[in-house]
Amino acid sequence: MTVDPRRTALALGRFGLGARPGDLARGEPVEEALRREILAGTVPLPSGPDLAATPTLLAALQAEEQVRKLAREAGPDVPMPAGPPPPPIQERVYRAEVAARLALAQAAPTGFVERLVWFWANRFTVSAVRGSQLRVGAGAFEREAIRPHVLGRFRDLLLAVATHPAMLIYLDNVASVGPSSPAGQRRGKGLNENLGRELLELHTLGADGGYTQDDVTALARILTGWSVQRDGNAEGLPGSTVFRRGAHEPGAVTLMGRTYLDLGPEQLRLALDDLAGHPATARHVALRLARHFVADDPPPALVARLSQTFLDQDGDLARLALALIDAPEAWDPVQRKVRSPQEFLVAATRGLALPPDPRVVMGALASLGQPFWSAPAPNGYPDEAGAWASPEGLRTRLDVAARAGQLAAGTDPAAFAEAVLGPLATDETRTALRRAESRAQAIALVLMAPEFQRR
């Protein structure tokens, strides 16, 4: 099969993380490289000494906070160790999680699987800005609840997300108690509907999926008892997911017209299985996937085809990804999507072959408005151009591009443009390169070119 360099350049931006030097000269069709990533069925896991399991991290956080509390209570007369104090565990772990993701992104052959991880982690948002527990646990949530399931069944992903300690903490399910449960009657506490509402509105059916407030309340009742272990005991470390029978609302519950008997933790599994296979969930997932990869307003035929694939393949997310790259609409030569700040920075470091410095990248992402795992609301970072292509946002990108140009001032701008854009480079971009006053300025021009900013 003849290799089309323009199609390769388009695909590495649209489905992957951007071209690296030499990627556009590959000898195989890019569709085969994308397909191979999915069919391999492996999702790389970040690794490092600070990337422990969530219960281990939360137990360490709890112990460190107790030590700091005791030190504060002891007063200023107690001698302290010499030298500056080490950074709090949540900051150390957060930086390590970011560094590990950047390393995976830099090394990925195309980055299609990494993009799917990013997509699902954003769709099932937990925010690291919501306190120290989530600062230390947001990256672990992605490692434990998202990555193992992005090429598996949606129902397994949904259950892992809904019962992970980070999600239970983020959406306050740890504070939800069945009003008629022993704990509810003893303490006078009641339902917290946050997780139930977001599971229906954001994670499964969608806002127009046909559910009512009664369904939100019903799912919140099913979720009671799902909490996080506070203290280490026979049930596990602090921070482990635990189902507390004494806090679970007793009795059968009717959700979306189906009745679920009070079977303890199995009640939630059965309810989520049905929500995962609902036609409204298929439409919602298909729309979000097409919007992320193809267009802010994706073609209805594409959404319908992806939705049907989701239903026909029992929520098999690998088959859904393959259906996406098989769809002719996904290969529209017009670059309709604006790269998000994370996509922009990773594409720049890949193209320039710069080792991503986590501190520099974290600072740049903060200025661009998209730090890792820090979306301001449960619906995640937006996927539409308007959120990222504002005048202020583009000015900040220009500043970042200028700094990148300075860091890579030894790079040949023409070779860089050929490596990351190839046949996508327009005459206007090539003319601007020739007129640049310096190599650093020329590299910044490539990074700010419309054909690099879009995918």
| Separation CA 70–CA 148 (nearest Å) | 39
CB atoms within 10 A of CB 297: 10
pLDDT for the residue 236: 66
Burial, 309: exposed, middle or buried (Cβ in 10 Å; 0-12, 13-18, 19+)? buried
pLDDT for the residue 42: 92
Number of residues in the chain? 455
Q: Locate tokens 């990074």: which residue?
A: 447
- Given a contact cutoff of 8 angstroms between Cβ atoms, the answer to whether 399 and 429 are in contact is no
Q: DSSP H helical segments within 313-390, as ranges?
A: 317-326, 341-352, 358-368, 385-388
Q: How far apart are the first and last CA of the chain?
A: 24
Strand partners, 227: 242
Q: Among 404, 395, 345, which residue's Cα sits nearest to residue 370?
A: 345
No. of helices (H) and no. of strands (E), the chain: 23, 4
| Separation CA 73–CA 326 (nearest Å) | 63
Which structure tokens are listed for 450? 């419309």
Q: What is the DSSP letter of 331?
A: G
pLDDT for the residue 79: 64
| Separation CA 394–CA 89 (nearest Å) | 34
Q: DSSP H helical segments within 188-299, as ranges?
A: 194-198, 213-223, 265-276, 279-293
The torsion region of residue 257 among left (phi > 0), alpha (psi -120 to 50) and beta comes to left
- How far CA 84 is from CA of 49, 80, 87, 447, in Å, comes to 22, 10, 9, 39
User: What SS3 class is residue 254?
Assistant: strand
- pLDDT tens for each residue of the chain, 455 residues long: 678 889 999 999 999 999 999 999 888 899 999 999 999 999 999 988 899 999 999 999 999 998 888 888 777 666 666 677 889 999 999 999 999 999 999 999 999 999 999 999 999 999 999 999 999 999 999 999 999 999 999 999 999 999 999 999 999 999 999 999 999 999 888 999 999 999 999 999 999 999 999 999 999 999 999 999 987 655 567 889 999 999 999 999 999 999 999 999 999 999 999 999 999 999 999 999 999 999 999 999 999 999 999 999 999 999 999 999 999 999 999 999 999 999 999 999 999 999 889 999 999 999 999 999 999 999 999 999 999 999 999 999 999 999 999 999 899 999 999 999 999 999 999 999 999 999 999 999 999 999 999 99
Q: Among 139, 126, 39, 42, which residue's Cα sits nearest to residue 89?
A: 139
Q: What is the DSSP letter of 164?
A: S
- Torsion (CA) 26, 27, 31, 34 in degrees, nearest 10: -50
The torsion region of residue 48 among left (phi > 0), alpha (psi -120 to 50) and beta comes to left
Q: Does the pTM exceed 0.85?
A: yes
